[in-house]
Amino acid sequence: MAKYLIKRLVAGVISIWVLITITFFLMHSIPGGPFSPAEQRKTPLAVLEKIEASYGLDKPVPVQYLNYLKMLLKGDFGMSFRNREMSVNKLIKNGFPVSARVGGVAVIVSLCIGIPLGILSAIYKSTWIDRTSMILATVGISVPSFVITVLLMFLFSVHFKIFPTFGLTTWKHYVLPVLGLSFYPVSYITRLLRSSMLEALRQDYIRTARAKGVKEILVIVKHALKNSMLPVITYLGPLVADLLTGGFIIERLFSIPGMGRDFVQSVGDRDYSVTLGLTIFIGVFVIIANLIVDLMYGVVDPRVKIEE
């Protein structure tokens, strides 16, 4: 186990370094910079050069890259170029808890709806339950989440005026963002678990359990479901990382002050330090989530052995 963890940690560090390098040079290769043409026209050239020098932007790109790596080793993601009184560390500290609250609820909703739907679709194959679940799942996978979210906003906020579309003050504010975030995961989990369950129900050990007189509910839960959850657990790693670190478009639509909103805004503003900092944070989160998922395999199915 120790050797496996060390290998995964080393691979994770290398992955993060590759992510930092690619993102850094891609951001610096985009035409323009963190200071818009409008700001350049308003600010005297000498003042603008001093501002760029204070951020180290006057140095060659390779030198900026090395300096940024030195800052990261100290745990410093730098200062925002657009909001010069706000550090990237503070943006993450303020934005992540908000994104995690909404995303955490969305993860729970995705599992609580997707797993039962997948089980019912497999048990009642080719019935109206199965057909209805598959239609909803197909729509959820095919239609982009922001389109579904806009439709939900129009239906429940504009037409019926049930749920608000701004902020996170009460539980009603969570309903539409959570539905928008969880619609695709619910659909994917439903299809994934249905396929896995159908395969498990055709296995010999299921026939043997039924022949021995085991109750059908135990056959489904104890035998079929347990052996069908590995694909769902595999998907759970990136799902948790994605939802907890912020649904970019969803947070933008509902003006939620989370990481997703900051990320989208930083890309448009060419705010290199914010884009890099949030990308690295999300990348680390994904790697940790996938590592936890790999360790969960052995808990769910003892037959799965971790190779060192």
List Cβ neighbours of 158 (8 Å cut-off, separation of 6 or more).
Answer: none
pLDDT digits (tens, 9 = 90+) for 232-277: 888 888 888 778 776 778 888 888 888 877 887 787 777 888 888 8
Count CB-CB contacts under 10 A for residue 36.
13
pLDDT at residue number 253: 83
Q: For residue 111, give the CATH number of its domain.
A: 1.10.3720.10
Q: 3-state DSSP call for residue 184?
A: helix
Q: 109 lies in a domain?
A: yes
Residue 50 within a domain: no
Among 54-58, 225-229, 301-305, which range has the highest average pLDDT? 225-229
Does residue 12 fall inside a structural domain?
Answer: no
- Nearest to 277, CA basis, from 291, 263, 265, 257: 263
Q: Is residue 27 assigned to a domain? A: no
Look at residue 188 and give its three-state secondary structure. Answer: helix
Is there a domain that residue 255 lies in?
Answer: yes
In a domain, 205, yes or no: yes
Evaluate if residue 113 carries a pLDDT over 90.
yes
- What total number of domains does the chain contain? 1
| Domain interval for residue 143 | 99-259
Q: Which amino acid, 52? A: E
Among 285, 234, 289, 237, which residue's Cα sits nearest to residue 263? 285
Is 32 a member of any domain?
Answer: no
- Among residues 290, 295, 256, the alpha carbon closest in space to that of 12 is found at 290
Alpha helix stretches (DSSP H) within 79-170: 88-123, 128-142, 145-153
Give 142-159 pLDDT, tens digit per residue: 888 888 888 988 888 888
Question: Considering the domain boundaries, does residue 67 fall inside one?
Answer: no
